[in-house]
Amino acid sequence: MQKILVSSCLLGELVRYDGKNKHIENKLLNSWIENNRVMSFCPEVSGGLPVPRIAAEIIGGDGNNVLAGSATVVDKAGNNVTDEFLSGAQQALSLCEKHNITIAILSKRSPSCGNKLIYDGSFNNQLREGAGVTAALLQQNGIRVFNQSELEDAARYIDEQIK
């Protein structure tokens, strides 16, 4: 049965920048876990960043711009963490390719995992349209990325693939 890549923080792992998680309780997600379909991954930790870490945002665009080299990821203290974000994204893609994963459930609004909205780089809690670095790389490679509010859409997509 095909695996689903899921942000580790949604599964309760304490990997967020603040040392916490974003655990969600959901019947669909639980059924995928019970069926051994879920592969947990945190791109920022895999990219070499510690827990806890200073919050980061994308400056000058979204994840697609970071991948194209026209935007950077910088933490609130001014450290450039673009390389770590790119490494995490590349590792996520490699994992998907290795396991033929074509669907991911990633945590919304994250500069790595956000699929539709991200913070705008001002560190003022302002959102803009766009994907995080990992979400963008997966999307560019044909992997469908949903967030935790779109689990029913994800389930429909999985059903369509099986037909």
Binding of ligand SF4 at residue 110 (CB under 6 A)?
yes
CB 142, CB 161: distance < 8 Å: no
Instruction: Output 15 or 136, the one with its CB closest to ligand SF4.
Output: 15
Residues with Cβ within 8 Å of residue 123, at least 6 apart in sequence:
55, 57, 76
Instruction: Output 19 or 161, the one with its CB closest to ligand SF4.
Output: 19
Task: Kindly state the DSSP code that residue 8 receives in the 8-state scheme.
Answer: G
Which residue in 5, 7, 103, 148 binds ligand SF4 (CB under 6 A)? Answer: 7
Give the C-alpha separation, 91 to 85, whole Å. Answer: 10
Contact region for ligand SF4 (CB under 6 A) — 38-46, 57-65, 70-78, 150-158?
38-46
Which residue in 4, 5, 9, 29 binds ligand SF4 (CB under 6 A)? Answer: 9
Helix (H) or strand (E) holding 39: strand 38-41
CB 49, CB 13: distance < 8 Å: no
Size of the site for ligand SF4 (CB under 6 A): 12
Query: Which residues contact ligand SF4 (rule: CB under 6 A)?
Result: 7-9, 15-16, 42-44, 107, 110, 112-113
